[in-house]
Amino acid sequence: MTIEVQNLSFGYQGKQDLLQNISFSGAKGEVICLLGPNGTGKTTLLRCLLGINQPGGGSILIDGRDAENMSHKEKFRHVAYVPQSTTVEFSYAVSDLVLMGRHPHLDYFSTPSERDMGITLKALEQLNISHLANRYFDELSGGERQMVLIARALAQQAELLIMDEPTSALDYGNQVRILKLIQALARAGYTVIMSSHYPSHAFLVANKVLLMRDGKLLDSGHPDRVVTAENLTQLYSTEIRVARISDNGDHQTKICFPLMDDDSFAKMTMYG
């Protein structure tokens, strides 16, 4: 599945555009990581890709086809959305929630078939969460919820996955599990577009990074070129460093960390 975004813009009537001339592309098996501070337009961009927000200009091509010419059902046969687990509350059984991913493949007023049920169960098995099938979503932990939402996307059988901060509010172990799953999905041929507040995650799973601030792309490309101390310092308006680390074996990566010895805050007068 390929996606090509060309000169995309979006804004509410009478207000300055929230997105300005956004252009990037994604290929089958790629993970694209969107980085940027709060309020910069990351979620707005994802909503445009999903068709929830109607762009004011530019185009979105999915496998070479203009997404604007697709019906909602047709689009969601190709594109699946994985929201933050902390922003949704469903009092549904897990199996029913994952089965909802089959909606784009059903005719109006039709009911799920045995095949749809089989695809649902297979999605749960793929993620090793079959044991959660009869549990209720709102009773699950954050990590379990995120896995269920990804299972729903897999049941949808869309090859382009859009994930809004998939590791948000998860403990360290669950963050790693979700990142490993994203990596595995890319190897299986899915195209993944994910936003994140953790720049180091780009080095772990991404093939391409988009740096976004004030509705514009500051830079885009391979993490090694784009995720630099200079770019991150500009992006987040705080001193950030990037270091290469190794376990003295075959595993090497880079990490990002803030510079904590900046004395600008130390000069503040504190009142008790």
Q: What is the pLDDT of residue 133?
A: 97
Over the chain, what is the mean pLDDT? 91
pTM surpassing 0.95? no
pLDDT higher than 70, residue 269: no
Instruction: Answer yes or no: are the C-beta atoms of 226 and 211 closer than 8 Å.
Output: yes
Average pLDDT over residues 24-40: 96
Buried-state track 32-52, b at ≥16 Cβ within 10 A, e below 16 = bbbbbeeebbbbbbbbbbbbe
Q: Which residues contact 232 (CB under 8 A, 6 or more apart)?
A: 199, 240, 242, 256
Q: What is the pLDDT of residue 180?
A: 95
**Looking at residue 179, what DSSP letter applies?**
H
Instruction: Answer yes or no: are the C-beta atoms of 99 and 113 closer than 8 Å.
Output: no
pLDDT higher than 70, residue 262: no
Q: What is the pLDDT of residue 14?
A: 64
Residue whose structure tokens are 């890709």: 49
pLDDT higher than 60, residue 129: yes
First to last CA, the chain: 58
Q: What is the pLDDT of residue 255?
A: 93
209 phi and psi, to 5 degrees? -125, 140
Q: How far apart (Å, rounded) are the C-alpha atoms in residues 232 and 230?
A: 6
Instruction: Answer yes or no: are the C-beta atoms of 89 and 138 closer than 8 Å.
Output: yes
Q: What is the pLDDT of residue 91?
A: 85
Q: What is the pLDDT of residue 22?
A: 97
Q: How far apart (Å, rounded) are the C-alpha atoms in residues 203 and 188?
A: 19
**Looking at residue 237, what DSSP letter applies?**
T
Q: Hey, where are the domains in the chain?
A: 91-157
Mean pLDDT is lowest, of 35-44, 103-112, 123-132, for 103-112
Secondary structure of residue 115 in the 3-state scheme: helix
How many angstroms separate the Cα of 187 from the Cα of each of 25, 29, 74, 118, 182? 18, 6, 25, 23, 9
pLDDT higher than 90, residue 231: yes
